[in-house]
C-alpha cells in the first residue's frame, strides 16, 4: 500500500510546499528573467511578478545606473591612460581648456 497522502478522489494529493524549480543547466537566471522549469501556476506568477519588479527597479534606479556608468567611464579612462599616457595628458589639457573657456564665456555673458 502507498504511503502517499491521497485526495478524496483517490489520486495522490498535491503537495502544498513550494518546490524550487528544477534546472538542468548550471547557468544562473538573471534577476529580471523567469526560470523555465516552473510548472505550478502560482509559483510561476510569483516568479513573473518578482522578475517584473526587479526589471522596474533596474530601470528606475537612477543613482545605481549613474554609478555603473561612472565606474565604466573611469575604468575606460584609466585603461586609456595606461596604454597612451601622452594622449591622456593631451585629453586632460583639452578638457580643462574647454571647461575654462565655457566658464569664461558664461561669466562674460552674465556680466554684460
* Residue 93 included in any domain: yes
| Number of domains into which the chain is organized | 1
pLDDT at residue 106 is higher than 70: yes
Instruction: Find the mean pLDDT for residues 96-112.
Output: 95
61-70 pLDDT, tens digit per residue, is 899 999 999 9
Q: What is the DSSP letter of 27?
A: P
Give just the sign of the alpha carbon dihedral 96, 99, 105, 109.
negative
Does the residue 54 lie in any domain? no
pTM of the model: 0.49
In a domain, 19, yes or no: no
Residue 4 domain-assigned (yes or no) = no
Does residue 15 lie within any of the structural domains?
no
What's residue 1's pLDDT? 46
C-alpha cell at 91: 585629453
pLDDT digits (tens, 9 = 90+) for 4-48: 455 555 555 554 444 555 555 566 767 777 778 888 888 888 888
In a domain, 72, yes or no: yes
Q: Is residue 36 a part of any domain in this protein?
A: no
Range(s) of the domain holding residue 78: 62-111
Domain assignment present for 96: yes
For 55-98, how does the pLDDT look when each residue is reduced to its tens digit (9 = 90+)? Answer: 898 889 899 999 999 999 999 999 999 999 999 999 999 999 99
pLDDT of residue 29: 67
Question: For residue 46, what is its C-alpha cell?
Answer: 510569483
Torsion of CA 60, 61, 66, 68, to 10 degrees: -110
Q: What is the pLDDT of residue 21?
A: 52
Distance separating alpha carbons of residues 39 and 47, to the nearest angstrom: 11
Amino acid at each position: 500500500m502507498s504511503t502517499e497522502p491521497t485526495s478524496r478522489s483517490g489520486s495522490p494529493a498535491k503537495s502544498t510546499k513550494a518546490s524550487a524549480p528544477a534546472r538542468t543547466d548550471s547557468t544562473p537566471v538573471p534577476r529580471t528573467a523567469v526560470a523555465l522549469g516552473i510548472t505550478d501556476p502560482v509559483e510561476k506568477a510569483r516568479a513573473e511578478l518578482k522578475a517584473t519588479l526587479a526589471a522596474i527597479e533596474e530601470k528606475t534606479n537612477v543613482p545605481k545606473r549613474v554609478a555603473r556608468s561612472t565606474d565604466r567611464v573611469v575604468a575606460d579612462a584609466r585603461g586609456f591612460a595606461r596604454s597612451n599616457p601622452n594622449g591622456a595628458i593631451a585629453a586632460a589639457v583639452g578638457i580643462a581648456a574647454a571647461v575654462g573657456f565655457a566658464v569664461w564665456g558664461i561669466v562674460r555673458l552674465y556680466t554684460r
